[in-house]
Amino acid sequence: MSKRNAFYAQSGGVTSVINASACGVIEAARKHPDAIGTLYAGRSGILGALREELIDTGKESAEAIAALKYTPAGAFGSCRYKLKGLEENKAEYERLIEVFKAHDIGYFFYNGGGDSQDTAHKVSQLGEKMGYPITCIGVPKTVDNDLPITDTCPGFGSVAKYIAISTREASFDVASMAETSTKVFVIEVMGRHAGWIAAAGGLAADEETDLPIVILFPEVAFDQQKFLAKVDEKVKEYGYCSVVVSEGVKGPDGTFLSETGQRDAFGHAQLGGAAPVIAQMVKDNLGHKYHWAVADYLQRAARHIASKTDVEQAYAVGAAAVEFALAGKNAIMPTIVRESDSPYRWTIGEAPLAEVANREIMMPKEYITEDGFGITEACRRYLSPLVAGESYPEYHNGLPRYVRLKNELVPKKLKEGFEV
Amino acid sequence: MSKRNAFYAQSGGVTSVINASACGVIEAARKHPDAIGTLYAGRSGILGALREELIDTGKESAEAIAALKYTPAGAFGSCRYKLKGLEENKAEYERLIEVFKAHDIGYFFYNGGGDSQDTAHKVSQLGEKMGYPITCIGVPKTVDNDLPITDTCPGFGSVAKYIAISTREASFDVASMAETSTKVFVIEVMGRHAGWIAAAGGLAADEETDLPIVILFPEVAFDQQKFLAKVDEKVKEYGYCSVVVSEGVKGPDGTFLSETGQRDAFGHAQLGGAAPVIAQMVKDNLGHKYHWAVADYLQRAARHIASKTDVEQAYAVGAAAVEFALAGKNAIMPTIVRESDSPYRWTIGEAPLAEVANREIMMPKEYITEDGFGITEACRRYLSPLVAGESYPEYHNGLPRYVRLKNELVPKKLKEGFEV
């Protein structure tokens, strides 16, 4: 096998463990200096390839790369930028080939969610359709846990852990206050279409710790009367209640509980503000004093309380991507394969990018209780191992020490720039 | 000294370490079985005394009491209920004396903030004014860090740590996204009148980790033009910016940026929603894409990332309250006395309740940078030791194991109930 360079990029919303995947890719690549020359990282994701802004990861020390495992967010910068189809914007693909050729890039590792796996899939077709053979491996990442085939998506377990813990902690708080003050606490969590993150709020309660938690899933059309009746029932029984509401909850007519009307580059509605809507509804109809929180980026950036399972899986899919590429595989994405729930055992599998791209997996019906407001035992069996274990970063002066890389760009070789 | 029973109660908004103070009180009391008979805890704070709902803490195992040190919120229930003056509502004080007499209560430990220390002060006057001598010691607690005399208030250091970490993590996130997406992240934090918690957001950036952070303090009248100019400057320099906004920020005319118009039992305005106001303002005027979070209860309940210093101080003031009482002191509150910043050294002091009650301490001018949007080195020297150290709870199945007590009520001895 002749030695080629490689390109790695981070795409879409970042997570607290996407850098653990980067660490896996880079450390695995460094084990094969015979096969992989320089591993370039794209500055701001695929934009780095289009603009020929390539970071030389070889300039980073082994210590700095190892520290990525404990550092949240995207160390090389991410982007929300979706390549159009080959027919719609051929110029972009021609540019990619120019850049790849100029830097002798033969391996392409793309770390992202459904949209990004679609990009990876398109890039994998460059050989066949445009005569530039490139080995293309997707690396899964999304807090939403909505990729198909893989048992879970790196990034999700840590958000799930954060939301489960935060819901437990806030529930203890409201339980203390309920006699004379706040009776209903509402926490809004991410998840545009799939309720996986909201479901994690259900883990706050378990056999040891009985807590009244009402979950609003995007998979269940919001029914105000039923919701208020459920909150009323919980407050009557426990004296208080916590509500976990997904940002993506919609009414029967399909409109979001709170939609700002803005859309991101992928055309997704940008949401925020379901929590205050729900809280006010409770106040107006049941008269309870409320508090509400919107976790937003805090949930997906919370490396301080990342799931150890998640960190290990994030690292493993990164490392596996390199091993798959060197084994001659192409147009696939490493997956997490669950072998057993308890004790939890998993291995790395693979899925064709063509089957991964642009498919969102919702919560299965059997994971949501019949009343639509809770998680079932089956859901709990699925979720529990994903939040298991702590993976604490190192602290300095009371704060986690997160690494920042040098991110040195290599000199450009092409005369032309590229406007995106 | 004749043996008497004792009463302990938690008051006002709870914190992630108020139970560490309870642990200190209870463990210290248990060391003096010769002097303190039963230690009763009020169910829902002072209401437990008025209603004769007394929890027998003697029924709890040593292990359960020790676990309080790792459990957030108020294990016995708290309340927002302020005793009126002796003249205004004598019946309440007569009732307290009835209950104290019936249960031979000679020690009163009241764990709370400024309003609660006022209550403790009033109770301490029962001897002189109503002929029922009782030893009354306040135990400081408030996330707002606004009590006078004490160097800091237990509860604050942990919120400060949470906000500093969350701001750092979210800043890493927005830095990754800024090229094509979110450029401004806004986090709303607690602090009605004092900006101590907002100031803690400034710790997210330090010598090792340069981050663009703009802080909006309640002590500084909000000036929209200056604020937007500051954000614009940061985004131009860094490509992104994080804004830490206190819930209590007011415009030059004294109105809150976002006031819901509701008031709690102490007459304080109930706030929430400054973050979306600020975020929309940035969008409308500078055009940047934004995300915002409201941490709300998550910040004060976040025992999973409590400050070790804070936990130790919370425990120490609880234990000291008992020792002070047994040493014959009365109408005082243990305080934290700072002996040096670095290395950080502190001891326990004392303050008369009369000087603590109903006084709020704002951020000193020299802690806020001249432009009004940041913290000075002096502020950093003050804050840093308070967030130092981690005090991780035990985990089970991926979640912290927080204790719930039996909270067994002792039989009532009085025939009459009491309506509050």
Which chain B residues are closer than 8 Å to A79 by Cβ? Answer: 179-181
Which residue is closest to A73 within chain B, CA to CA? B173
Shared-domain flag, residues A81 and A168 = no
Say if strands A290-294 and A259-263 run parallel, antiparallel, or are unpaired: unpaired
The pLDDT value given to residue B269: 47
Residues B191, B193, B199, B200, CA torsion sign? negative
Domain count, chain B: 2
Residue B239, in any domain of the structure: yes
Cβ-defined contacts of B410-415 (< 8 Å, 24+): B410/B38, B410/B40, B410/B54, B410/B55, B410/B56, B410/B103, B412/B52, B413/B52, B413/B102, B413/B103, B414/B52, B414/B98, B414/B99, B414/B102
- Locate B41 and state its tokens: 């805890």
d(CA B203, CA B191): 17
In a domain, B365, yes or no: no
Q: How many helices (H) and strands (E) does chain B have?
A: 14, 15
CATH number at residue B291: 3.40.50.460
Cα–Cα nearest to B142, from B121, B125, B108, B118: B118
Residue found under tokens 């001895």: B413
Amino acid of residue A201: G
Last residue of a domain, one of A276, A300, A324: A300
Q: Choose the catalytic residue: B118, B144, B151, B310.
A: B144
Instruction: Report d(CA B86, CA B49) in Å as an integer.
Output: 16
Whether residue A343 is preceded by a cis peptide bond, meaning omega within 30 degrees of 0, is yes
Q: Reply yes or no: is the peptide bond before residue B400 cis, omega within 30 of 0.
A: no
Distance from CA of A105 to the nearest CA of B (A): 24
Residues B244 and B309 in one domain: no
First to last CA, chain A: 35
pLDDT at position B258, please?
A: 67
Token duo for residue A297: 């980026």
The string of DSSP letters for A279-317 reads HHHHHHHH---EEEEE-THHHHH-GGG-BHHHHHHHHHH
Asked whether residue B22 falls in the same domain as residue B39, the answer is yes
Parent domain of B35: 4-141+304-359+390-400
Name the token pair of A348.
């790395």
Tens-level pLDDT at each residue, chain B (420 residues): 589 999 999 999 999 999 999 999 999 999 999 999 999 999 999 999 999 999 999 999 999 999 999 999 999 999 999 888 888 888 999 999 999 999 999 999 999 999 899 999 999 988 888 899 899 999 999 999 999 999 999 999 999 999 999 999 999 999 999 999 999 999 999 998 899 999 999 999 999 999 999 999 999 999 999 999 999 999 999 999 999 999 999 988 888 886 633 444 455 544 458 998 899 899 999 999 999 999 999 999 999 999 999 999 999 999 999 999 999 999 999 999 999 999 999 999 999 999 998 888 999 999 999 999 999 999 999 999 999 999 999 999 999 999 999 999 999 999 998 988
Report the pLDDT value the prediction gives residue B129, as an integer from 0 to 100: 86
Whether residues A192 and A291 fall in one domain: yes
Same domain? B296 vs B170: yes
Q: Are residues A20 and A108 in the same domain?
A: yes
Cα(B244)–Cα(B294) distance, rounded to whole angstroms?
10
Q: Which of A174, A186, A294 to mutate to test the interface with B (most CBs of B within 10 A)?
A: A294
Chain A contact for B64 (CB, 8 A cutoff): no
What does the alpha-carbon distance between residue B79 and residue B406 come to, in Å, rounded to a whole number?
19
Q: What is the mean pLDDT of each run of 10 residues along chain A (420 residues)?
A: 92 97 98 98 97 98 98 97 87 94 97 93 88 95 96 98 98 97 97 95 96 97 96 98 96 75 45 81 95 97 98 98 97 98 97 91 95 98 98 97 98 92
Residues A279 and A336 in one domain: no
Nearest C-alpha neighbor of B38 from the set B47, B29, B46? B29
The model's pTM is 0.96
Could you say which of B302, B325, B347 is where a domain stops? B302
Based on the fold, state whether residues A126 and A33 are members of the same structural domain. Answer: yes
Residues of A in Cβ contact (< 8 Å) with B292 = 272, 294, 296
pLDDT at A266: 52
Q: For position A126, what pLDDT does the model report?
A: 85
Is residue B190 included in any domain, yes or no?
A: yes
For residue B236, give every residue at least 6 positions away whose Cβ sits within 8 Å of its Cβ, in sequence order, or none: none
Q: Is A1 exposed, middle or buried (0-12, 13-18, 19+ CB in 10 A)?
A: exposed
Q: Does A19 fall in a domain?
A: yes
In a shared domain, residues A393 and A265: no
Q: Which amino acid is at B70?
A: Y
Q: Are A328 and A306 in contact (CB under 8 A)?
A: no
Same domain, B108 and B51: yes
Q: Which of A180, A273, A402 sits opposite B79 (nearest CB)?
A: A180
Q: Cβ separation of A80 and B180 shorter than 8 Å?
A: yes
The answer on A101 and A187 residing in a single domain is no
Question: Is A241 within the bounds of a domain?
Answer: yes
DSSP B396-414: ETTEE-------PBPPP--
Distances from the Cα of B4 to the Cαs of A400, B34, B36, B131, B348, in angstroms?
A: 47, 9, 5, 17, 25
Q: Are residues A273 and A354 in the same domain?
A: no
Here the CATH number for the domain that contains residue A67 is 3.40.50.450
Handedness of CA B48, B49, B55, B57 (dihedral sign): positive
Burial of residue B232 (number of CB atoms within 10 Å: 0-12, 13-18, 19+): middle
Q: How far is CA B8 from CA A109, A379, B19, B43, B324, in A?
A: 60, 41, 12, 10, 14
Residue A249 makes CB contacts below 8 A (sequence gap 6+) with: A216, A217, A218, A222, A256, A257, A274
| From B77, B294, B302, residue closest to A292, measured CB to CB | B294
CB contact at 8 A, A279 and A290:
yes
Residue B162, domain member (yes or no): yes
pLDDT of residue B26: 98
A379 belongs to a structural domain:
no
* Residue A413 in domain: no
* Ordered DSSP codes for B74-129: -TT---------TTT-HHHHHHHHHHHHHTTEEEEEEEESHHHHHHHHHHHTHHHH
Catalytic residue numbers of A?
144
